[in-house]
Structure 1
Amino acid sequence: MDKFNLIAGARRAMERAVMDSVPVNSRAWRSMLAQAALAFVGLVGLTAAFLLAFDPYGAAPWSGGKPPALMDLNQRFMYPQVVRSHRFDSAVFGTSTIRLLNPDRIDQLFGVRSANLAMNSATAWEQSRIADLFLRETPHPKLIIMGLDPLWCEEDADSPAKRLTFRAFPDSFYDDNRWNDWPHLFNLKGLEVAWRLAAHQFGLMRERLGANGYEVFTPPESQYDLQKARSHIYEGGGPQSALRPPVQVSGEQRASWRFPALDWLSSLLGRLPPETRAVLVFPPRHVNGQDAEGSLGKARDAECKARVAKVAAGRATVVDFRFPSAITRRDENFWDSLHYRLPIAERIATGLHEAVKGGGDRDGGVYHVLETARAVN
């Protein structure tokens, strides 16, 4: 009996030893996991608090949509905040070919408070999105200026491939739901911009864009090199000569051409109140970047301009700088075939003011007025 009791006691002692050892190890692992989880939650909490404190995209509904400074490199992420700041009653839309239009000069000429919301390489659809947001947030704008590059005349501007570029476009920033902006805030990109904003707050970094969206993105004028500019202007070849004989286009063929982006333009103009002054401008482009006279491309361009004038009829002033002129023939006016220099931006601003006021082109021949809006009291 004692033998059996001894064996049973030994077995129970072994079981207790095993059972005692398991909870010790389990508790240790549970403690380590709990500490790691707490550290992770703490890190996430600190990061979230940091992002909400600086809120680089104005994503928090209580932020008013505007950070203290614009620090992202992609204007598509920044401009919705400029719009939602409600500081501006007027705006410029377009691509880099209109970005040099200085809002301060526009304000001086037209008596408005304007922002330049033109985006590098923006598609017609992207431009219509920021314009749409501006009109929703600013129901009674004083002045709208839209730069119309040839991309507005593309027959497939409404195709998926032409709606966006390789640059990220935060579509949720352009709707009325602020909560769906948060995924763009809580990611590595949002964290990067928040750090830039923090560095700006401590005086370690300059703001990327002015509060009105304006930036001189071209090199300083003091660094202008005509020979280098010419290498860019004629990168694809020498000056284009007129086609002889010119391409013949029938009226039926012209009528069949599609310009789908002009429907978006018409919709935007249709939403403007009568007191808003609207200006549509074809920015200047060096003649070597224009379609050759007599070509099919030139015929399409002329047809598109005619349709823009028809869309604008009575609702907007249409000003054309994109044709061979004293501006576009001179190499020294451009950095490349697309981008003109600051003095030309000043000439465009004064030209738009002249056109709206009906005073005509003082220099003669550098712009054409294709359509005149009804007078605004």
Structure 2
Amino acid sequence: MNSSTSSSEAIAATEATETSWRRFSVFLVGLTVAAVLGVIAAAYVIDPYDTGRSLLFGREGVRPQGPRTANASRGRDPSFDAAIFGNSQIQLLSPDRLNKRTGFNFLQLAVPATGPKEHFVLIDWFLKHRKGPVKALVVDSDETWCTSDPEMPNFRPFPFWLYAANPVEYAKGLMRYDILEELPRRFGYVFGKNPARARPDGYWDYEPDYLNLGYDTRPEVRARLEKPYFASEPTFERDPKEGQRKFPVADKLKALAESLPAETALIVVHPARYKSYLPPERTEDGYLDKACKAAMKAALAGHPRSAVVDWRIDRPENHNPDYFFDLSHYRQPIAMAIENDIVKALESLR
């Protein structure tokens, strides 16, 4: 009798303990979920990157930071009626210089180490935040645009969630550790008396950084410019894949061109390359480059105010090593020459 009672009491005690642990576990899970949802809700309301999704803690611009996140704020600034898109190979184009020569108000939205997938996301973000007419879009079409992969893979992390049209996708993106670091910084920026602000037009002159690293003086760095990047011997009399090459980015460009109002100019720029980085004719790389450029040009046919500015060709400036830091990053003389061609193209479209 005593043994049976003791056994029942032990079972009951075990069940009570298990029930208590279950309740405690459920409480912890509930508390964690509530905390996570609370952080997301707070981040949504505070809007740390000034996306415009909340106006409770509004202040123009954001603190100094990289363009991947800062462009969410810049891209919705209604004062700009023209913009430049691409990566570091077009970021040296100056909004100020273009403004003086065109009368437009250019925004530089280039992001280093990005490709077409990111470029079209930023183009869409800029366009959907315009209240007035868009004067011009200048778009960098480099080798990443020549991919045959319809997914247009990005090779470096990019906050696609930050520019997402779906609020749920944006909210999911807020669930990350760096948001916890950014929230107090946003408060400091919003409520500070004279907080430092990221440059509104997005321009970043990378020349001083390259010069500080000795790109214009170090012999081993200068020697890299002269090393051919591609096989130099011609191997084909004609394109071995003629008619077979597919460029999904050209389809995206075509859709963009056809969606633009007639008054918006669309300029595609093939950025400059040092001579060692130009694919030789009658080679696989040369035919690929030629076919890719032709596809981009054809994609613009549906928009009357469009043009191509091609600096990815053999021209005297691309033979001058003093105009380049490396094979694809040029200096101010080239940037100003490209700007000059853009201005000419815009004038021809008026």
Q: Normalised by the size of structure 1, how large is the TM-score? A: 0.72
Alignment partner, residue 148 of structure 2: 155
Say if 2:293 is the partner of 1:305.
yes
Say if 2:322 is the partner of 1:329.
no
- Report the Cα offset of residue 130 of structure 1: 1.2
Alignment partner, residue 122 of structure 1: 114
Say if 2:133 is the partner of 1:145.
no
Q: Is the 8 A contact 1:242 1:293 kept in 2?
A: no
Distance 1:205 1:290, change over 3 A: farther
Matching residue's letter, 1:334: F
Alignment partner, residue 14 of structure 1: none
Alignment partner, residue 92 of structure 1: 84
Alignment partner, residue 257 of structure 1: 245
Q: After superposing the two structures, state which structure 1 stretch, 68-77 or 287-296, moved more.
A: 68-77
Alignment partner, residue 231 of structure 1: 220
Distance 1:304 1:225, change over 3 A: closer
d(CA) in 2 for partners of 1:184 and 1:279? 33
- Report the Cα offset of residue 244 of structure 1: 4.3
d(CA) in 2 for partners of 1:84 and 1:165? 26
Alignment partner, residue 354 of structure 1: 344
Alignment partner, residue 191 of structure 1: 180
2:263 to 275, 283, 308: 275
Distance 1:130 1:64, change over 3 A: farther
Matching residue's letter, 2:121: R
Alignment partner, residue 274 of structure 2: 286
- Report the Cα offset of residue 120 of structure 1: 1.1
Q: Is the 8 A contact 1:91 1:143 kept in 2?
A: yes
1:217-249 CA-to-partner distances (Å, cap 9, x unmatched) read: 343576465233x63465487246884444222
Q: After superposing the two structures, state which structure 1 stretch, 334-343 or 257-266, moved more.
A: 334-343
Matching residue's letter, 1:210: R
1:306-334 CA-to-partner distances (Å, cap 9, x unmatched) read: 22222223441111011122221111111
Alignment partner, residue 80 of structure 1: 72
Matching residue's letter, 1:153: C
User: Superposition pairs for residues 96-111 of structure 1, below 5 Å?
Assistant: 96-111=88-103
d(CA) in 1 for partners of 2:160 and 2:249? 20
1:232-291 CA-to-partner distances (Å, cap 9, x unmatched) read: 4654872468844442224x8321111111100111111111111111110101122222
Distance 1:54 1:118, change over 3 A: same
Matching residue's letter, 2:140: G
Equivalent position SS for 2:269: strand
1:136-168 CA-to-partner distances (Å, cap 9, x unmatched) read: 222731111001111111222x23xx4223313
Q: Is the 8 A contact 2:43 2:183 kept in 1?
A: yes
d(CA) in 1 for partners of 2:221 and 2:184? 36
Which protein has the larger Cα radius of gyration, Structure 1 or Structure 2?
A: 1
Say if 2:199 is the partner of 1:210.
yes
Q: Which runs of 5+ in 1 are unaligned?
A: 1-29, 359-374
User: Superposition pairs for residues 8-19 of structure 1, below 5 Å?
Assistant: none
Matching residue's letter, 1:318: V
Distance 1:147 1:66, change over 3 A: farther
Q: Is the 8 A contact 1:65 1:81 kept in 2?
A: no
d(CA) in 2 for partners of 1:301 and 1:65? 48
d(CA) in 2 for partners of 1:225 and 1:165? 25
d(CA) in 2 for partners of 1:339 and 1:56? 32
d(CA) in 2 for partners of 1:226 and 1:165? 28
Alignment partner, residue 27 of structure 1: none
Q: Is the 8 A contact 1:130 1:174 kept in 2?
A: no
- Report the Cα offset of residue 59 of structure 1: 5.0
Equivalent position SS for 2:268: strand
Distance 1:173 1:222, change over 3 A: closer
- Report the Cα offset of residue 93 of structure 1: 0.7
Q: Identical aligned pairs, as a percentage?
A: 24
d(CA) in 1 for partners of 2:335 and 2:56? 32
Q: Is the 8 A contact 2:40 2:171 kept in 1?
A: no
Q: Normalised by the size of structure 2, how large is the TM-score? A: 0.77
Matching residue's letter, 1:301: D
Alignment partner, residue 182 of structure 1: 171
d(CA) in 1 for partners of 2:129 and 2:56? 12
d(CA) in 2 for partners of 1:107 and 1:236? 33
